[in-house]
Amino acid sequence: MINFESEYIEECIPDNDFLYRRAFYKTFNQKTGKFTASAFKLKSFKSKGKNKKGFSANWNKYSTPEKTSIDPISNKKFCVGEFKAIIPRKVDLNVNHTPSNYNQSHCTISAEKLLEDIDIYKAEESIAENCIPIYFPNETIKS
């Protein structure tokens, strides 16, 4: 499928491919060794005129944990977690490759319909539980 807003082609992301997500260091629970649901907040956004809930991640086919860790706007470094594409799909979320000219790896994890607050929390908890923290920039380890 061609995305007219991007020079890159949208591809299907296989279930077993990994997605990277930036996470603020205060969302990492050292006792459990996991990020909390806070790192996977499904936020409201509009897509093709429809209201949706979702969040962004980077596909490992075109990105690395190091690249993902840097916020492209502020250039600040964040922690990074990885999870398989099948994890959000198991809780009825869509995982779509949505590349932009600036980020070929960009993908969107979103709900087909508007979910209740409790269902959103369930989905976030499920991703948090199955996400493996893989990257911690030096400055976050110190703090």
Partner 1 sequence: MKIIENEKNTSTIYLNDINETNKSEYEILNKDITIKDDYFFSIFTNILNRKRNSHEHFVYYEVSNSYHINPIQINNIEFRYNKEKWLNIKMNRDRLFSENIITQLKNFSKLEDNWDSYGASKISWSTIVNAIEFFMKIVDKYPNSPIPFISPYPDGRINVEWQKFSKELHHLIPKDKSNYFIYRMINRKEGALKDYYDKAIGIDDMLKIFSIWYSDDQF
Minimum Å distance from CB 30 to partner 1?
8
Binding mask 65-84 for partner 1 (x = CB under 8 A): ------x-xx-x-x------
Minimum Å distance from CB 13 to partner 1?
19
* Under rule CB under 8 A, residue 32 binds partner 1: yes
Question: Is the dihedral angle over the CA atoms 93, 52, 127, 21 positive or is it negative?
Answer: positive
DSSP states along 1-65: -B-TTSSSBP-PPPTTSEEEEEE-GGGEETTTTEE-GGGG--EEEEETTEEEEEEEEEETTT--H
Minimum Å distance from CB 74 to partner 1?
7
Site residues for partner 1 per CB under 8 A: 22-24, 26-27, 29-32, 36-39, 41, 43, 55-56, 71, 73-74, 76, 78, 117-118, 121-122, 125
